[in-house]
Structure 1
Amino acid sequence: MGRRSYDDDAKTFKSKNLEYERKRREKLSTRLLMLRSLVPIVTNMNKATIIDDAITYIKELQDQVETLTRELLQETEATSKEVAKPKINDFDLAEEMKKWGIQEEVHVTKIDGNKLWVKMIIENKRGSFKKLVEFLDTYGIALIDTNLTAMKGALLITTCIQGMDGQTLEVEQINQWLLDILRAI
């Protein structure tokens, strides 16, 4: 009886090893097929060739990355050394805006609670939007969901505004106040 249990244990041990080895080979085959599908040129279908071709392909990709990185750095250096192109002056922008019949305007509408929706069309002067944001910040008004479009010498600004400290914003007061700020810019 002692011998029989030994044989049973050996058979169980062998069958477990065979099962593990079969699963390992299947896993390896599946991964080789995946690798083969990723490499555009596979010269032969044996395992060693698939791996060699993958290594060659990866090295080619690394060389391409290096070349592109060098080119990008050269372009970046070249553009940073270029002399800045002269900017269109503010007078030209104002004329462009007038030519297209665009008028400066401000519209303020209450959305809900303490939120107002604002649409402004202003002359596209250098730094005008930055100054507007600074003025609003100084008076405790936050811009929310702001869109800015520059076209034909004008800036179209659409935004929601809200008092930062829970202050109540009145439509007429904010409308007039924004017009005054825009004239001062």
Structure 2
Amino acid sequence: MLRNTRTIGRRPCSTKMKSSTDHHIRKSLENYGSWVDEAISGYYDSSSPDGAASTAASKNIVSERNRRKKLNERLFALRAVVPNISKMDKASIIKDAIDYIQELHDQERRIQAEILELESGKLKKGSGGYDFDQDLPAYLRSKKKRTDAFYDSGGSRISPIEVLELRITYMGEKTLVVSLTCSKRTDTMVKLCEVFESLKLKIITANITSFSGRLLKTVFIEADENEKENLKTKIETAIAALNDPQSPMSI
């Protein structure tokens, strides 16, 4: 009787230990499965540290690619407006552009000196003689000046603006670059300015330079790429109207 009692008393303890062990194994498996799920979701989810780092790297690559594209577009536009480019690499283009700007400053100073000299010469000439044009009515005086500007001393007709080349380039970011080369004649600079003012364009910046008896007018204009041909037609029409002695623009 005592032996049976002992045997029966041991069975509940063994069953309890087995139940506890099964519970721990089940819990461990659940925790392991949860950890695997988190690891997998973290690998594919951009909100995880690795996923966020990968997304940030991709954005940096795209940003760098766009930055290089814009830089190349600006270098292309710069190359289009600088007359003399020694080499096609970036450093040479920038150096040639700097030299060109310095040359423009020198030419500006020379032109200003010439203007002052001409003005002083006119004052001296005016003080020493009589101007017969002053006796003419205002309308006839303006008409005479307009006619004189279109004919040389031999009586041959000349145009204030003789276009040698007209190029329009799109440099991106809604910007068109107009490069107009023409012969250097009396009042050509002034007439070129009048042409572009009459078109009412959104001019960003403009400059003009003189070289070898020619003038180069460069104008940066705010406009879309599809406006290139229309803008070229407008400029050519305005120049033709100004070159016509009977046109109101030539007054």
Query: Larger strand proportion, structure 1 or 2?
Result: 1
Structure 1 length-normalised TM: 0.47
Query: Larger helix proportion, structure 1 or 2?
Result: 2
Radius of gyration: which is bigger? Answer: 2
